[in-house]
Amino acid sequence: MSRRPLPNEIVPFKCTDKLIDESWTPDRAADLANLPSPFRAILVGGCGSGKSTVAKQLLIHQRPRFSELILVHADGPGEGRESGTTEWDDADPTLIMNEIPDLEWFDELCANDDPCNPVKRLLVIDDLEQTSANKARLRNLALVFRYISTHKSMSIVLCHQSMFDIMPLVRKMANVYVIWPPRAKNELTLIANRVGLDKDVLRALFKQLCHDPRDSIMVDLTRNSPQKLRLNLWTPIDLDSDDD
């Protein structure tokens, strides 16, 4: 019995854990805020810059919609206390907590999901302290970016005030960045290096385009993105243009 020879090229093997693997299509590209899930977004800006508002845009523009919104907030409910924040009430979160769950929690959450009709979930981590965090929080934060997002079909939005204070592995694993002009010059250098731009280019983009305190630059590194650079999620930025 003859065997068919294998091709001299990479043969794809589908990971059966990854039930959702959306991609950019012409229909999706009609709304640039409709990122293919699962995505891992970092939103970095000062207090009052509008990070939560932009996070909500990524939620409401998602098609097909997210079935569940899980919010981890510093002022979320914990042992013996109720939630002290109402900031996300208008998004009708499925669950609010004040700590990032561990792997066993996510396993239980997804245990009854139908592989033929997977559940689309969004995990929002809003201004949760990292510099003085305990080992469990840092371990679970790394876990959700490194493993949970792809293997549990979960998109992630992390809102924070400083790129310096976000753990290096999380910065590396993100594929979407929404950035407001930082005050520190050395933070600008760190951000530019992480998103793959020259710091002088990023500085020029902030100076020339971000006239309102809530203006932001988006760097979309999702696979086959129709527009890598944008102002405020939707406005394309073309670095190859002859326009100054």
Structure tokens at 235: 């406005």
Confidence of residue 225 (pLDDT cuts 50, 70, 90): very high
Q: What's the pLDDT at 239?
A: 85
Structure tokens at 124: 């929002």
Confidence of residue 58 (pLDDT cuts 50, 70, 90): very high
The rounded distance, in Å, linking the Cα atoms of 199 and 26 is 32
The rounded distance, in Å, linking the Cα atoms of 126 and 71 is 8
Confidence of residue 80 (pLDDT cuts 50, 70, 90): low
Q: What's the pLDDT at 244?
A: 53
Report whether pLDDT(83) > 80: no
* Three-class HEC string of 114-142: ECCECCCEEEEEECCCCCCCCHHHHHHHH
Confidence of residue 109 (pLDDT cuts 50, 70, 90): very high
Task: Give the pLDDT confidence of 142-157 residue by residue, as tens digits.
Answer: 999 999 999 999 999 9
Structure tokens at 32: 């640039």
The rounded distance, in Å, linking the Cα atoms of 231 and 1 is 61
User: Which ranges constitute the DSSP H helices of the chain?
Assistant: 26-29, 51-60, 103-110, 135-143, 149-151, 168-173, 185-195, 199-209
Structure tokens at 115: 């592989």
The rounded distance, in Å, linking the Cα atoms of 15 and 119 is 17
Write down the mean pLDDT value for the chain. Answer: 93
Task: Give the pLDDT confidence of 172-189 residue by residue, as tens digits.
Answer: 999 999 999 998 889 999
Decide if 62 contacts 28 (C-beta within 8 A): no
Decide if 37 contacts 62 (C-beta within 8 A): yes
Which segment of 38-47, 124-133, 152-161 scores lowest on mean pLDDT?
124-133
Confidence of residue 36 (pLDDT cuts 50, 70, 90): very high
Report whether pLDDT(123) > 80: yes
Q: What's the pLDDT at 2?
A: 64
Confidence of residue 137 (pLDDT cuts 50, 70, 90): very high
